[in-house]
């Protein structure tokens, strides 16, 4: 029986090996202490690997994974958030925030009008709050729109 914990455990063991291998590549300097920069990460990798092994041998109950529709909704949300992370600087606060908040809201409760209003409301409301109440330096619009 292929359980999530077993698969995850294997990934952990492989990851631990990669981590140890990478730690062993750490450059050492002439100013060295008895432990050095490699020991601690190697120790961690070893413990993590052991934990991964235990997960493979003694897996827990299967977690309650989301169904296909929920996975799609999650994937859309992640993509939108990544886009938001890149858009925030060049496009200013208001437009990316309205779009992102609207899409997230739609993913939680699929009502188009309510989501659009949520997006707009959050975007404007948070901008006013951050800019004028908390005094954060946010740029509202893309550069060059209003001089």
Partner 1 sequence: MEILSNLALGFSIALSPYTLMLAVLGCFIGTIVGALPGLGPSNGVAILIPITFTMGLDATAALVLLTAVYYGAMYGGRISSILLNIPGDEPALMTTLDGYPMAKNGRPGQALVISGFASFWGALFATVMLALVAPALSRVAYQFGPAEYFALYLLAFSTLGGIASNNQAKAAFASCVGLGISVIGLDNFSGLPRMTGGNLHLMDGVDFLVAIVGLFAVSEVFFFIEKHGKGGAVGVKLNKFRVPWGEIWSTRWTQLRCGVVGFIAGVLPGAGASLGSFLTYMMEKNIAGPEGKFGTGVPKGVAAPEAGNNSAAGGALVPMLTLGVPGSGTTAVLLAVLMTLNITPGPTLFTDRPEVVWGLIASLLIANFVLLAMNVPLVRIFVKVLSVPPALLLPGVTMVSFVGIYSLTGGYFDLLLMILFGIMGYVFRKMDIPTVPVILGILLGSNMEDALRRAMVLSDGEWTYLFSSPIAIGLWIFAVAGFIAPVYFRNKIRKPQAVTD
Nearer to partner 1, 65 or 146 (CB): 65
Residues in 95-124 at the binding interface with partner 1, rule: CB under 8 A: 97, 100-102, 104-111, 114-115, 118-119, 121-123
- Which x/- pattern over 49-88 shows residues binding partner 1 (rule: CB under 8 A)? -xxx-xx--x-x--xxxx---x--xx--xx--xx-xxx-x
Cβ at position 109, least distance to partner 1 in Å:
4
Nearer to partner 1, 74 or 145 (CB): 74
For the stretch 91-96, contacts whose Cβ atoms lie closer than 8 Å and that sit 24 or more positions apart, written own/partner, are: 91/142, 92/138, 92/139, 92/140, 92/141, 92/142, 92/143, 93/123, 93/127, 93/130, 93/138, 93/139, 93/140, 94/123, 94/124, 94/127, 94/140, 94/141, 95/123, 95/141, 95/142
Cβ at position 146, least distance to partner 1 in Å:
21
């Amino acid at each position: 029986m292929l359980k999530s914990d077993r698969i995850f455990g294997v990934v952990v063991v492989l990851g631990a090996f990669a981590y140890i291998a990478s730690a062993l590549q750490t450059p050492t300097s002439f100013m060295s202490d008895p432990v050095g920069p490699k020991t601690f990460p190697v120790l961690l990798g070893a413990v993590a690997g052991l934990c991964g092994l235990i997960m493979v041998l003694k897996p827990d109950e299967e977690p309650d994974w989301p169904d296909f529709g929920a996975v799609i909704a999650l994937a859309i949300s992640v993509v939108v958030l990544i886009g938001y992370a890149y858009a925030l600087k060049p496009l200013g606060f208001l437009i990316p925030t309205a779009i992102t908040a609207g899409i997230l809201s739609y993913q939680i409760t699929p009502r188009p009008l309510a989501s659009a209003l949520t997006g707009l409301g959050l975007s404007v409301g948070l901008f006013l709050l951050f800019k004028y109440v908390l005094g954060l330096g946010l740029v509202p619009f893309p550069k060059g729109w209003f001089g």
